[in-house]
Copies of this chain bind each other. A is one copy, B any other.
Amino acid sequence: MKNSLILRQTGIDTYREAVMYLRTDSPVCISEGFDAQARVQINYLNKSIIATLNKINSNLLEQGEIGLSEYAWNLLGAKEGDLVTVNHPRPINSMSFVRSKIYGNKLQRFEFKEILDDIVSGRYSDIQITSFLTACSSSKIDFQEIMDLTQEMVLVGEQIKWHSDFVVDKHCVGGLAGNRTTPIVVPIVSEFGLIMPKTSSRAITSPAGTADTMEVFAPVNLTVSQMKKVVEKENGCIVWGGAVSLSPADDILIRVERVLDLDSEGQLVASVLSKKIAAGSSHVLIDIPIGPSAKVRNETTGNLLKLYFEKVGEKLGIKINVYFTDGTQPVGNGIGPALEARDILSVLSLKKDAPLDLRNRSLEIAAKILEFSPKVKKGEGFKIATDILQSGRALKKFESICLAQGGFGKIPHSKFLRPYLAKKEGIISAIDNRHISRLAKLAGAPTMKSAGVDLHILVGAKVEIGTPLFTIHGGSKGELDYALAYLKQRENDFITIKEN
């Protein structure tokens, strides 16, 4: 067989980039003229993938062998010792659309379709994906393009159908540390009787996404059919959207956005609504926290996002209610998966020291969602939600949902703690979300569940010299040191104390 090579699993984990390894002196490398970093097509049975070539100048591989990274190995689904062929892939036509976008031209719907098809089938390298994302960021795509991109992101994945046409959902446009209302809202709404199959994301630029936090309690990597079973039984669930692959394009794009610490408006609307439409939602509440250090910094940007969400939603046939909330300071005390999980549990179990801000935000959002229902009059949602929480039915429902998802786990604790104390007395006048989030990420969140920052004060609190302001929870010794180095570097940027 022409160019036939023997497969070897290298055990090299390159995350989500498919990499292949060939000896520099292998006949196939020479005859095909492959360069290091070339994109090469690998064919196995009736399947093919594209991988980036790394050349081997040592005896890691024998002549006639081809090594694959773990990601490429899983994509191909091959077995050790099987035979494959390799060749130059055909040119990626859709890259000319990306270049056109870079030059400021508007993209047509079929162009987005081709780009997304190629991205999902692994034809784009990280460099190409980054270029597409950067070219589509900020104000560089218009309303029509966002709509087209959203629809094509839905079509490139699976779409879930439910037994009812009335399916509610919520989404918070992040940027506010510790704002983890979902695990409180879902049990309230589903206990009331509405269907709320919540798929959440993992963190992009924040120290934890809802899926990261929920995972502290229960498995979130459910398949679509597992998720359906949970919802049939409990009306609601809280699972990771990436695992059910509702928007496979989005899952790939988010990985690069994470490296760049970037998610732009158009991409945000497309990302959120593509997931909601694919999840079969009919009514969606969008929570937009507004504050000087939140993701959305003022009402002007908020209103632009609201307009995009509502217009795109209307065109695509789902009812959107956009709700602005206070984004001036973190919500709850904990920032990071385990610390946020602790706050959630204290609200659900009606503890006296439960963070009141998290409790009230959750009730307000649950209220708005309940009011989507024709059975609930406007203005009555809050009372109904409060009753369900106070009666303990919400906690019970949450436990049932966790068990249905695969178990109700204990919250882990960090062993690497370091409190940060006030250096002068006065009144707390500001807490900078962005810097606190950064600190929690440097401490290891969200990868290390126990890592994060635990805030001990709110804006307006009176402090003395030595009052603990927050405690850093390190995911490891190295990460604690790293966070401390950052803290020392810009000590005055986290919390502002006004002297009396």
Residues of A within 8 A of B (CB): 3, 9-17, 21, 24, 30-33, 35-37, 54-60, 69-70, 87-88, 90-91, 95, 98-99, 102-104, 125-128, 130-131, 133-135, 137-139, 256, 259-262, 264, 438, 442, 444, 447-448, 451, 475-479, 482, 485-486, 489
Contacts and interface: CB of A to CB of B under 8 A. Distances in A.
B11 A478 contact: no
Given A33-B451, A126-B130, 19 more contacts: A11-B57, A12-B21, A13-B24, A14-B54, A31-B476, A31-B478, A32-B479, A33-B476, A37-B259, A90-B485, A90-B489, A102-B264, A103-B138, A104-B138, A127-B130, A127-B259, A127-B260, A128-B259, A134-B135
Nearest to A451: B33
11 contacts: A11-B57, A13-B54, A14-B36, A33-B448, A54-B69, A88-B479, A91-B438, A98-B260, A102-B262, A103-B264, A131-B260
Contacts of A133: 131
Nearest to A255: B37
B479 A33 contact: yes
Contacts of A87: 478, 482
A256 to B, nearest CB: 6
A477 B32 CA distance: 7
Contacts of A486: 90-91
Nearest to A91: B486
Given A11-B60, A128-B259, A33 B134 contact: no
A477 B33 CA distance: 9
Contacts of A69: 54
Contact of A127 (B127, B438, B451): B127
Nearest to A32: B478
Nearest to A86: B478
Contacts of A137: 102-103
A60 B128 contact: no
A58 B30 CA distance: 28
B138 A102 contact: yes
A260 B128 contact: yes
Contacts of A98: 260
Given A33-B479, A102-B262, A135-B134, A13 B127 contact: no
B134 A444 contact: no
B60 A12 contact: yes
5 closest Cβ pairs, A-B complex: A11-B58, A32-B478, A134-B134, A15-B37, A130-B130
A444 B33 contact: yes
Contact of A134 (B37, B57, B95, B102): B102
Given A138-B103, A486-B91, A57 B70 contact: yes
A12 to B, nearest CB: 5
Most buried by B among A21, A104, A137, A438: A137
Most buried by B among A3, A9, A33, A133: A33
A99 B262 contact: yes
Nearest to A444: B33
A173 to B, nearest CB: 17
Contact of A88 (B56, B256, B478): B478
A146 to B, nearest CB: 17
A196 B3 CA distance: 47
